[in-house]
Copies of this chain bind each other. A is one copy, B any other.
């Protein structure tokens, strides 16, 4: 199906465009009353993730409501650990919880890996196909995965954490075990993302959400090589690497076979460009809290950001939009980008 709005893909491929495309991480979610209406009728978050019709519905809501230049499939990074054999629960107001975690080499050897694990995620592929059909080419559809280190962090820690000290302890005490687990996660992610591309994802984003709690040396050993493996393997569609908090790794990421690098709001556009080099497209990075300000102030901040990034840029926040963000602020952000033109 030919896309009516392919601005995101043209930008990701490095083509000259008239303005930057714009979307928001977590745009399909609690900021939208339509999402909350769907969610209220359900038993829980996972029912939404695992029911293709519902996932497709909420994926398209922000395209209708906010007029963004891309949809991102509604899902969760933790579907991969679950497909590998570690089921998770999503506890209201607390976040994810894994009743079982990885403790030993035996636990790792028991995991389902690669295509066998990816084959368990039919509900994601179903949601992608349905979304793609229902979008009817209006905008591109983004698929995503957690990065290997971030998924290891949950699989070992068992829940969110300020420090992820249990997961990091594994890196320091049993680095070989950590690498064994990272290899198996990586193999699974690659199989999963190839399926996603086959079922309609036009671009893939890798979320290394816990990158920022690693030292530069740990990141170089335990995260970057696996991200690079994934980037090299996914040749079907453009790939974005978003390693939150890992400003120190931007040079390493800029050498990966990815097209786009996501930046959080700690990195100024100038510093991001300096570290990432000239070649990559940059994505980001307004402070999500900026959208709490009035629409005029949001528009001004958005324009300043666009000026600072210049070309080769995809407009977004520096993190997922916070659930209590006023829709006025979100709309002001999107419209400011859509009204902008490169000189």
Among the stretches A17-25, A76-84, A226-234, A287-295, the one at the interface with B is A287-295
Q: Name A259-308 residues within 8 Å CB distance of B.
A: 265-268, 271, 287-290, 292-294, 297
Q: CB < 8 Å: which of B165, B266, B322 contacts A215?
A: B266
For the complex, is A218 an interface residue (Cβ under 8 Å from B)?
A: yes
Cβ of A172 and Cβ of B265 under 8 Å apart? Answer: no
> Given A248-B271, A322-B163, does the pair A265, B215 have CB atoms closer than 8 Å?
yes
Q: CB < 8 Å: which of B216, B271, B292, B297 contacts A169?
A: B292
Closest to A212 in B: B266
A293 proximity list for chain B (CB < 8 A) = 172-173
Q: CB < 8 Å: which of B168, B268, B324 contacts A287?
A: B168
A325 to chain B, nearest CB (A): 9
A248 proximity list for chain B (CB < 8 A) = 247, 266-268, 271
**How does the 8 Å CB contact mask read for A135-158 relative to B, with 1 for contact and 0 for none?**
000000000000000000000000
Q: CB < 8 Å: which of B168, B216, B265, B324 contacts A268?
A: B216
Cβ of B287 and Cβ of A218 under 8 Å apart? Answer: yes
A327 proximity list for chain B (CB < 8 A) = none
For the complex, is A96 an interface residue (Cβ under 8 Å from B)?
A: no
Q: How many copies are assembled?
A: 2
For the complex, is A245 an interface residue (Cβ under 8 Å from B)?
A: yes
Interface on chain A toward B: helix, strand, loop, or mixed SS?
helix
For the complex, is A111 an interface residue (Cβ under 8 Å from B)?
A: no
A142 to chain B, nearest CB (A): 23
> Given A216-B268, A266-B215, does the pair A289, B165 have CB atoms closer than 8 Å?
yes
Closest to A247 in B: B247
A214 proximity list for chain B (CB < 8 A) = 287
Cβ of B268 and Cβ of A172 under 8 Å apart? Answer: no
> Given A247-B247, A289-B172, A292-B169, does the pair A266, B322 have CB atoms closer than 8 Å?
no
Closest to A304 in B: B217
For the complex, is A66 an interface residue (Cβ under 8 Å from B)?
A: no
CA distance A322 to B294 in the complex (A): 41
A292 proximity list for chain B (CB < 8 A) = 165, 168-169, 172-173
A293 to chain B, nearest CB (A): 4
A165 proximity list for chain B (CB < 8 A) = 288-289, 292, 322, 324
A288 proximity list for chain B (CB < 8 A) = 163, 165
A110 to chain B, nearest CB (A): 25
For the complex, is A31 an interface residue (Cβ under 8 Å from B)?
A: no
A162 to chain B, nearest CB (A): 8
CA distance A324 to B266 in the complex (A): 30
Closest to A95 in B: B162
**How does the 8 Å CB contact mask read for A84-127 relative to B, with 1 for contact and 0 for none?**
00000000000000000000000000000000000000000000
Closest to A318 in B: B215
The 10 A-B residue pairs whose C-beta atoms are closest, nearest first, are A168-B289, A172-B293, A169-B292, A215-B287, A215-B265, A172-B292, A216-B268, A165-B322, A165-B289, A172-B290
